[in-house]
Structure 1
Amino acid sequence: MTVKFSKDHEWVDIADHQAATVGITLHAQDALGDVVFVDLPAVGTTFTQGDVAGVVESVKAAADVYMPITGEVVEVNEALRADPSLANSDPMGAGWFFKVRVTDLTQFDALMDEPAYADFAKNA
């Protein structure tokens, strides 16, 4: 697993080189509390890094989900749409949000690795 993290608390895994998997971090789901709804992007939609690609709502707040890398959405997690609590119970696994065909791998390289994100999240 090759995972990097954004300053907006999304993670990106490009393990299969066909599409990058995107979700929210453990820190983000902790801050949100119990997730009750997710608004996922439409398959085929192209986003630029930093664009709002979805929304996650919890019992405490709603937060935008930002696109951590430029690309086209090729799949969304329908299981998450049906059971938003997956974002809490398994945010780095079954609680993934969408998959993206990456158009600029240099953006991925510029994201934080796990130790850098852990330091960043301590102060967030």
Structure 2
Amino acid sequence: MNNFFVNGEITIKVEGFLKAQRQTTSIISAPISLKWKNKEEDLKEALKTESKLCSKELNVASFSNVRYYLSLYTKQINSKNEEKTMLCLNTKRGKEKKIEAVYDFNINTFNF
């Protein structure tokens, strides 16, 4: 795990777009961007305790109360009974009935 940290921190970036269908208009689209820094000791503690870490929630101004954030789930078991760590983009829909997301995760580190 040490290969992912620079000066004791890991930085996770997400960039992309959220899209929603509106009744009176066609599909609208809004860019999203989030940079989330985590300290190595916080991540190690989450791995020990099988807990979840979450970034701050950000509001999407052009949507009705839509918010998004990143979460990191440790020690998740997949269908092959393998232990995995999951990084997720989460949305809170607000008044939108359906939201589509197109995005990329990026983990920039010096050692990897």
What TM-score, normalized by structure 2, do the two folds share?
0.29
- Between structures 1 and 2, the one with greater helix share: 1
Q: Greater Rg, structure 1 or structure 2?
A: 2
- Between structures 1 and 2, the one with greater strand share: 2
What TM-score, normalized by structure 1, do the two folds share?
0.27
Higher relative contact order by CA 8 Å / sep ≥ 6: 1 or 2?
Answer: 2
